[in-house]
Amino acid sequence: MNKPYNVEGIDVPLAALKPLRERTNINTAKHRGYLKILASIRSLGLIEPFCVFHENGQYIILDGYLRWLAFQELELETAPCVVFKDKEAYTFNRMVNNLSSFQEMRMLRKSMESVDEKTIAETFGMKTIRHRLAPKLVERLHPQVAQAFKNDLIGKTAASEMSCVKPARQLEMLREMNRVGDHTPAFIRALVLKTPPELRLNTPGTRYGRKKNEREQRLVLVERLEQAEKQHDFYTKLYRTYSADLLKISLYARKVITTPEIREHIEQLHPSVLGDMNSIVMDSK
């Protein structure tokens, strides 16, 4: 059996941490993810340590860029880190299964049994958490739609949109969403507006009340939906082709830069090409 990669847990001075890449497009004053992390660290401390590797006297951050920004803002001196002996030992995962909306609702309800709402809201960096509990939402959903919500196939906003139509229509909408591969709130909203009045729920406070220009709006949305369906196959094929090509070129680039003789030759004669290949390998992770 292969031995696992050796890792080490240590406290690293914040000045010794360096991000793998600078991300200049983050507005920390408005970035919701960053503000949540900042509030959580301020209230509870760091929950998930940084993932780093040691290089030239510095610790390069593989995972934890937003946490690093939060530590800087809070003027903390040291950071708990998991140190990987080799940069390649860490696997970048863009498909991390985050907490689903349904799981978040259950967690918040359970937390409120022992902690007051204000404390929980402050920990999440929010004014209130009442809007996240949605106690009656699941009851208004078709069982299969409710299951999709629990499995995080659709979010709370999308589930709220679907609750404005009758359960039978909800199931039709879910099948249509699965068919075209689009579970976004915007697409669901369009399907709701496309729904005939007799299949909608006339619940108090619904955002889909009758309007004078409702018919015109529905016709425009139907036309857009038909166009989206026609383009779906094209974009699906394009994405699959892109993914296959990216995989091939990343494997080729990795083979080139990990072969000492070839790497040395390129480094001497074409250093910029070597940099591009390194970028391709890193971006494909």
pLDDT digits (tens, 9 = 90+) for 131-182: 555 667 778 889 898 888 877 788 778 888 898 899 999 999 999 999 888 8
pLDDT digits (tens, 9 = 90+) for 84-112: 877 766 655 544 455 566 666 666 667 66
Lowest mean pLDDT among 150-154, 189-193, 210-214: 210-214
Q: What is the DSSP track for 57-115?
A: TEEEEEE-HHHHHHHHHTT-SEEEEEEESSGGGSPP-TT--PPPHHHHHHHHHHHTTTS
Provide the β-strand partners of residue 82.
9, 51
Report whether 151 contacts 100 (CB < 8 A): yes
Amino acid identity of 234?
A: F
In this structure, CATH architecture of domain 7-89: Alpha-Beta Complex (3.90)
pLDDT of 251 over the 50 cut: yes
Label residue 203 by pLDDT band (50, 70, 90): low
pLDDT digits (tens, 9 = 90+) for 223-246: 777 777 777 777 888 888 888 888
Question: Average pLDDT of the chain?
Answer: 79
E strand map for the chain: 7-13, 17-19, 50-55, 58-63, 78-84
* 78 Cβ neighbours under 8 A, 6+ residues apart: 11, 12, 13, 14
Identify which has the larger pLDDT, 172 or 213: 172
pLDDT of 205 over the 50 cut: no
| Torsion region of 152: left, alpha or beta (phi above 0 gives left; psi -120 to 50 gives alpha) | left
* 211 Cβ neighbours under 8 A, 6+ residues apart: 217
What gap in Å lies between CA 50 and CA 12, rounded to an integer?
10
Using the structure block, give the residue that is written with the tokens 């959580």.
40
Instruction: State residue 282's pLDDT score.
Output: 77
- Domain ranges, ordered by start, for the chain: 7-89, 101-133, 137-210, 237-283
What gap in Å lies between CA 173 and CA 184, rounded to an integer?
12
